[in-house]
Amino acid sequence: MPDLQDELIEVLQEPPDLDFDLPNPEDEDLPDFEFLQQVDRAWLVCDRFNLQTDIWRGRILRAVRDREKVGGEGRGKGFLKWLSEREISKSQAYSLIELANSADTLLEQGKLDPNSINNFSKRAFVETANSPLEVQQLVASAAQDGDRITRREVKQLSDEWMAMTSELLPEEVRDRAADHSLPARHVAPLVRELEKLPENHQKEIQREAAENPDVETLKQLTTEARNLSKYIDAASQVQTLQDPSLDLEMALEEALRVGSLSVASDLVKQAAQLEQTVTKLYTTWKRLSSQSDRLYVDTGASTPNLRSLINVIERISGPVIEVPLDDSGEHTVRLQILSD
């Protein structure tokens, strides 16, 4: 990609001057607003320098990684060794590679003027590359106008685009988002929650939003959609609920009808957590019992303290687990494990 290479080189040929004077924090004659302006300017220069440097670091790391793929035998070991020698973590390396990929994508597709790169923070750059085409164009336009682009600006533009175009929203809500009578920051969260729901659960929420396209209703519907999603996700994970006598859909409808969806959602979520905890408890108990038996076999009369340790551990490694709930021992929980 010689054209892209030339463009990036052109941008990076004139690195920012990092030899600048910081304002004296003890200078009482310097007004606070002027002090902060000078500090902000210095900070932006560092951001620009870091972004440019990290794009190239990501391209270097990608080249090292891809070079190893040519041989086909290294299975990533050579790349990991290269990272280790330079004290770079694997997650840090792939974060930089993602940044380089983002730069290449935006520049290759012509959505971004190379000279606008300096207006981005690193996180905003990656966020932009992962956004829909329309959002990329909005962000690129703002950057080319000289606006400073942070992740917050990308999210705001993404929310606005989503609020005005999402097919999951009724037309009444989209129209009010378009004329800014409904702020995008209240509309976009509802879209994200609706995306998680099956179509049959979306319809009632969409109907209510169309009937009352106002901020308070949208907030309430967003909470309801979030609780619905939690209920559905948790219910699919709970083995206890896979009972033929239980109709989960009807239970959900009844919870909605009596206004107890939040409580029902939390009930199912807690049930899922308890099942996972019990499974983990059983696995740990089995391992503890096995280690205790092994230590008993390997020891004898010459190790009385080890035997004492085993005897004490039997309180939680045997078929009845007994654990005090307080220091006094007055309150104790006892669990009996009956495994098939």
pLDDT digits (tens, 9 = 90+) for 241-261: 888 888 888 888 888 889 888
Q: Give the CB-side neighbour count of residue 330, counting CA atoms within 13 A.
A: 1
The predicted pLDDT at position 71 comes to: 61
Kind plus residue range of the DSSP H or E element containing 188: helix 184-194
Smallest CA-to-CA distance from 60 within 22, 18, 96, 13 is with: 96
- Of 40-49, 183-192, 197-206, 324-333, which gets the smallest average pLDDT? 40-49
The predicted pLDDT at position 226 comes to: 92
Residues in the chain, total:
340
Mean pLDDT of the chain: 83
Q: Give the CB-side neighbour count of residue 94, counting CA atoms within 13 A.
A: 4
* Nearest-angstrom CA–CA distance, 132 and 158: 8
Encode pLDDT of 188-231 as tens digits.
Answer: 999 999 999 888 888 889 999 999 999 999 999 999 999 888 88
Tokens at 337, concatenated: 């494990």
* Nearest-angstrom CA–CA distance, 242 and 56: 53
Encode pLDDT of 282-309 as tens digits.
Answer: 999 999 999 999 988 888 778 889 889 9
Smallest CA-to-CA distance from 284 within 242, 330, 239, 323 is with: 323
For 253-261, the CB contacts below 8 A with 24+ separation are 255/231, 256/224, 261/224, 261/227, 261/228, 261/231
Encode pLDDT of 113-149 as tens digits.
Answer: 777 777 887 788 888 877 888 888 888 888 888 788 8
What letter would DSSP give residue 116? G
* Nearest-angstrom CA–CA distance, 127 and 107: 15
Are 261 and 224 contacting, i.e. CB atoms less than 8 angstroms apart? yes
The predicted pLDDT at position 4 comes to: 46
